[in-house]
Amino acid sequence: MNPAEVLYTPLDTPNAPSIDVEKLKTWIDSHQSYNSKYDAGSITPSDVFPWKVSYIKESNKWCNNFNVEFPELAEYVSSAYGLQPDDIVTGIFAYAKSDFEGMGFWHSDVDSSGLRMYIQNEETDDFLFIKPTTHPYNNFPTDRLKGGNSEISLMDGSFQIQKDIIHSAKLLKPTQCFYLNSVRGVHAIKTNKKGCTRILLALTLDLNIGIQNLPEHLKELIVNSAKKYKDYAIIWTPPTTT
């Protein structure tokens, strides 16, 4: 097994520090104007875009004194994965809108490192859906996926999806670190009840690092975690032929 074959798995990482979630929500809300130019919701229909987007780090620099306001969490976002702070180029909070309900849009994230963590997730059932690719990609195709209207919309035929296969991820714990593969799959979240707290932190390494060129200790973390949490891990398999 290698990381490209793992679509999703909780990661065997140290427990997250205790966080004042209400303070964090306030911090995210207070920096929406700074992040408006990055908000994917500006190009995705609002009825399928479930997130408020807030940057904690951009171009390897902390944003809005996040590391001062939340020093323990700022240290944890790198150390949890055995990384140094400078290894994290970008950090983005995706905080579920309180009035959003239903399925979000199908999409593929921009990075192949796939390092994610839930600061808190009260959505425990059918919270994340994944569709695998038809081919065992190890790198992104030249043209990338577009999201919209909860349907998969492709710029060309280079990124083929197994549209009849939908996996439902299982949550190990509400504050878990996890790996999400955007090279061999697309995903969409689901909110089953309005008002549930759901705060995701997406961490990006150098975008030029492909899935096969991740640091060796990260590869081992992903693969060993998928084996340890085999009842939770989702593994890519090729389409069934008849």
Q: Which residues contact 25 (CB under 8 A, 6 or more apart)?
A: 95, 197, 199
pLDDT of amino acid 209: 79
Q: How far apart are CA 55 and CA 204, in angstroms?
A: 12
pLDDT of amino acid 150: 36
Beta strand 128-132 with 90-96 is unpaired
- In the structure encoding, which two tokens stand for residue 210, read together? 């492909």
HEC string of 190-226?
EECCCCCCEEEEEEECCCCCCHHHCCHHHHHHHHHHH
pLDDT of amino acid 146: 46
Q: What is the pTM of this model?
A: 0.89
Is residue 198 within 8 A of residue 96, CB to CB? The reply is: yes
HEC string of 50-92?
CEEEEEEEECCEECCCHHHHCHHHHHHHHHCCCCCHHHCCEEE
pLDDT digits (tens, 9 = 90+) for 156-214: 445 688 878 999 999 999 999 999 999 999 998 888 888 888 899 999 998 777 888 89
Domain ranges of the chain: 3-235
pLDDT digits (tens, 9 = 90+) for 4-24: 999 999 999 999 999 899 999
Q: What is the CATH class of 3-235?
A: mainly beta
